[in-house]
Homo-oligomer: A and B are copies of this chain.
Amino acid sequence: MVRWEPGAVERLHSAALELYATKGFEETTVAEIAQTAGLTERTFFRHFADKREVIFGGSELFQEGFLDGIVAAPADAKSLETVIAAVTGAAVFFPDDRRASSRQRTRIIAANPQLQERELQKMSSLASAIAAALRERGIREPAATLAAESGVTVFRMSFAQWIADGAERSLIDIERDLFAELRLMTGSEAQPTT
């Protein structure tokens, strides 16, 4: 009989991130995560396939967050407008109360080459999925891939600014500024005085 553990996923997630951050990802065992969360290993494996899934478990939802924005964009939206809708739409997944845990997660990944590689693959797969969704809307190549890659670049840069020490602005505000900067850079609006 499976016993229902209220908040088990959140407790395991929080215990795992804390241990990965202090002991290191490789050095942490599932037994320690379960113990720190006050749960059993069996409960851990009911929710996560392995230690890595605690960090990358939400990847499908994350990607869908972007793709939903593309589907919802007006039919006549051009490639960049569609990508802006996708990226800013997905910002709801990162409200300011997730900033601290996102920062912790990013530091854990930065400390481990295998996790870094997995994170890079996640970004690369996100760009491919956005490009495919743009092609389905009739946007031709190479515009689709170029717009998708630019959108992921803005997301990555915005995310890094969002989790920087002392940062206070919301992710969506940072993203909007960077997309405006992208337009300025390519000359579609007057250059700002530097």
Contacts and interface: CB of A to CB of B under 8 A. Distances in A.
A77 to B, nearest CB: 12
Contact of A186 (B80, B153, B191, B194): B80
Chain A residues touching B, range: 20 to 34
Interface in A171-194: 177-178, 181-188, 191, 194
A149 B157 contact: yes
Contact of A146 (B117, B142, B185, B187): B185
A185 B147 contact: yes
Contacts of A154: 146
A78 interface: yes
Contacts of A113: 117
A161 B142 CA distance: 10
**Copies of this chain in its oligomeric complex:** 2
Contacts of A191: 78
Interface in A153-167: 153-154, 157, 161
Query: Which DSSP category, helix, strand, loop or mixed, fits chain A's interface?
Result: helix
Nearest to A83: B185
A53 to B, nearest CB: 19
A30 to B, nearest CB: 24
A94 to B, nearest CB: 18
The 6 closest A-B pairs by CB, nearest first: A188-B188, A186-B186, A187-B188, A149-B153, A183-B186, A80-B185
Given A120-B120, A146-B154, A186-B188, 7 more contacts: A78-B191, A80-B185, A138-B194, A143-B181, A182-B186, A185-B186, A186-B186
